Amino acid sequence: MSGSQVWVVTGASRGIGASVARLAIEAGHEVALLARSEAVLDLAESLGARAKGFQCDVANRESIDTTIEAVAAAFGRIDVLVNNAGVHRGGKLPRLSDEAWQEVLQVNLTGAMTMTRAALKHMDAGSAIVNVGAVVGFRGFPGDAAYASSKAGLSGLTKALAIELAPKAITANLVIPGLVLTEMTSGLSEAALEKMNGQIPMRRFAEEREIAEVVYWVSQSRYMTGANVPVDGGLLSSFGVT
């Protein structure tokens, strides 16, 4: 792709999604920022004329369809879709409720599929889909059955999309962040964070911008599709996962 692109970023009100949106705007692109929170509207306004915020619940198909049509009406097309929205509900199986399990899968996996299906109506050859995974989708952690399952499923979805969309010259890849200090991890104790940090070969957490830079690079790669791209400080390699 060349020239100005139209990006759609889900889960864009904070964290990695907001960082991806900022980077795309800095690169001269137009960005539709999607999130459930009203905060996404304020963030988009602060980012200037190239940004537009949309309140969207990726767990709701009607909300997705309505939002994508509004994005297409505002920008005319979609060149890059970043499926970043996610929720985390922890708990080992005896304590993991059916409601929590369904919520995580609905947002993290079904939401990405539904968003992609809606966006594809407005994507042409040269477009890109970047899904945001997680290390736990490839290496198990106790108490993360729902989140790990959703992210492992997202890897499978990405590979299937890559094969389906290759004849249309639309790429689909998975970026796998390591441990990032975001609002999602802010509730962890200092002891837990220290233990997690000790497992990372580079001995530090990632910055949101570092993840965003890889998301951006992947979106611009025209011959890579169906790839899992870790950005994890060597974490998966330390577990023997490639």
Q: How far is 43 from 239, CA to CA, in rounded Å?
A: 38
pLDDT tens for 44-67 read: 999 999 999 999 999 999 999 999
Structure-token pair, residue 121: 């109506």
> Are the CB atoms for 28 and 4 separated by under 8 Å?
yes
Q: What is the pTM of this model?
A: 0.94
Q: How far is 5 from 21, CA to CA, in rounded Å?
A: 12
pLDDT score recorded for residue 188: 66
Would you give the distance in Å from CA 67 to the centre of its chain? 17
Domain membership flag for residue 241: no
Which CATH number does the domain housing residue 149 bear? 3.40.50.720
Domain membership flag for residue 83: yes
Element (H, E) at 214: helix 208-220
pLDDT tens for 147-194 read: 999 999 999 999 999 999 999 999 999 999 998 876 666 666 788 778
Q: How confident is the model at residue 142 (pLDDT cuts 50, 70, 90)?
A: confident
Q: How many domains, the chain?
A: 1
Domain membership flag for residue 238: no
Domain membership flag for residue 176: yes
What is the arithmetic mean of pLDDT over 94-123? 97
Catalytically annotated residues = 147
Q: Torsions phi, psi of 9, nearest 5?
A: -125, 120
> Please, which residues bridge with residue 30 across strands?
6
Domain membership flag for residue 124: yes
Domain membership flag for residue 202: no
Residues whose CB is less than 8 angstroms from the CB of residue 170 and which lie 6 or more positions away in sequence, other chains included: 120, 123, 125, 126, 127, 128, 129
Would you give the distance in Å from CA 56 to the centre of its chain? 15
Q: What Å distances lie between residue 69 and 13, 56, 111, 119, CA to CA?
A: 20, 12, 16, 9
Domain membership flag for residue 242: no
Domain membership flag for residue 197: no
Enclosing domain of residue 118: 6-187+207-233
Q: How confident is the model at residue 242 (pLDDT cuts 50, 70, 90)?
A: low
